[in-house]
Amino acid sequence: MPDYDHLILPYSSGDADKDEGLLVNSLIARAQQPIADPDIWLGGVDHGGVVLTSIDAVFGWARSKSLWPMLFGLACCAFEMMAAAGNRWDISRFGMEIFRPSPRQADMMIVAGTLTWKMAPAVRRLYDQMAEPKWVLAMGSCAISGGTFSESYSVVPGVNRILPVDVYVPGCPPRPEGLYHGLMELHQKIQKAGYLKGNVHLPRLD
Amino acid sequence: MLDNLGTLGLFVALALVFPLLLIGLPLILRYSGVIPQKPSSVKQDTYECGMKPFRDAWTQFNFHYYTFAILFVVLDVMSVFLFPWAANFVKLSRSDQIDVLVEALVFVLILLIGFLYAWKKKALEWR
């Protein structure tokens, strides 16, 4: 019988659980205040010259019409997101039919559902691994503020504690039409943002 | 004749320009700052569905998977070839009634000999 000891995962040991608990606790300690929303908002920012403005318009148009969302869902809002991606509401009308299963190819993160503190490091890591420029859409009451569970010890009271959120879509869960309204707001925001849009600098997780 | 050569020249020019454009455009966008480049240790780390990667990815697999996979592919392709044969058997056998059957049998026999050889060499036993 071959020796399979080297294949045993560290998650089967108590040490790994302890490490994860320390990571989560340090994240909770550092995420007591919400991260400020990215300041470029729909009010419109003037970028100066004629040339830059037209380049901004071209790249803003290209970026906003080819958003690729990250493929992941946390809770029940994810089902409305799937419905939005399905054939009845058909997300491909907005140039975003491809939900990418890898953060390397995704522009946009739809945080659909309740985010627990245990899941928070993973979501934050996914956001960190996405390529710039990137946008975050918080979908549903739980993602916005913790919703029903905002008093809970285990639920992140709003994903803006760990991510800079661009668009908030309220609802419990929001219907696909609501999600689309948020997406179209995000499109307008991207078009206003300009091609040199920088992302919010976040402190390191670990 | 000359018209055709002109078209050919245009085609060659297009075939040269288009790949150069496709290669050059990302470089222009990169160095003009349109494509931001902000590498970090987390971003360049292995993607493991948001988990922190640990240990080495080069784990060893039993080599016997290979022979199983090869045998599976052989029998798989055999069934792929036999399906259209079986579906059109009636139509084919109208002209030559025995030939169609014999041809398929020879095909299966060749693969069967290989399969028996693999069986005899104990390729089907898990060690």
pLDDT in tens, B9-54: 999 999 999 999 999 998 988 887 777 778 888 888 888 888 888 7
Cβ <8 Å between A122 and B50: yes
A167 in helix, strand or coil? strand
Amino acid residing at A150: S
Is any Cβ of chain A less than 8 angstroms from the Cβ of B54?
yes
* pTM beyond 0.90, yes or no: no
Residue B108 DSSP SS3: helix
Q: Distance between CA A76 and CA A109 in Å, rounded?
A: 16
Residues of chain B in contact with residue A195, where contact means CB-CB under 8 angstroms, are 34
Q: Which of A121, A129, A133 sits opposite B36 (nearest CB)?
A: A133
Query: At a CB cut-off of 8 Å and minimum separation 6, what does A113 contact?
Result: A73, A74, A75, A76, A77, A78, A139, A140, A142, A143, A173
Chain B partners within 8 Å of A199 (Cβ): 36, 38
* pLDDT recorded at residue A62: 85
pLDDT tops 60 at residue A118: yes
What pLDDT, on the 0 to 100 scale, is given for residue A197?
Answer: 55
What is the rounded distance in angstroms from the CA atom of residue A79 to the CA atom of residue B94? 56
Q: Where are the beta strands (DSSP E) in A134-188?
A: 135-139, 167-169
pLDDT at B19: 95
pLDDT at position A18 is: 80
Distance from CA of A167 to the nearest CA of B (A): 22
- Measured distance CA(A67)–CA(A89) in Å, rounded: 17
- Nearest partner of A104 among B57, B44, B26, judged by Cα: B44
**Does residue B59 register a pLDDT over 70?**
yes
Q: Do B45 and A129 touch (CB under 8 A)?
A: yes
- For the stretch A94-112, pLDDT in tens is 888 788 889 999 989 999 9
- Report the SS3 class of residue A168: strand
- Residue A163 one-letter amino acid: L
Chain B contact for A5, CB < 8 A?
no
Enumerate the β-bridge partners of residue A112: A139
Distance between CA atoms of B48 and B31, rounded to whole angstroms? 30
Could you tell me how many CB contacts below 8 A there are between chain A and chain B? 38
Q: Is B34 on the interface with A (CB under 8 A)?
A: yes
What pLDDT shows up at residue A133?
Answer: 81
How far apart, in Å, are the Cα atoms of B2 and each of A19, A134, B5, B9, B59? 76, 53, 5, 10, 62
Q: How many CB atoms lie within 10 A of CB A75?
A: 19
Nearest Cβ partner for A129 among B36, B37, B43: B43
A126/B36 CB distance under 8 A:
no
Looking at the DSSP bridge assignments, the partners of residue A110 are A137
Interface mutation vs chain A, best among B32, B49, B60, B63, most A CBs within 10 Å? B49
Does B60 lie at the interface with A, CB-CB under 8 angstroms?
no
Q: Which residues of A are less than 8 Å from B51 in CB distance?
A: 122, 125
pLDDT at B96 over 70: no
A52 touches chain B (CB under 8 A): no
Q: 3-state secondary structure string, A107-144? A: CEEEEECCCECCCHHHHHHHHHHCCCCCEEEEECHHHH
Taking a C-beta distance cutoff of 8 angstroms, is the pair A199, A134 a contact?
Answer: yes
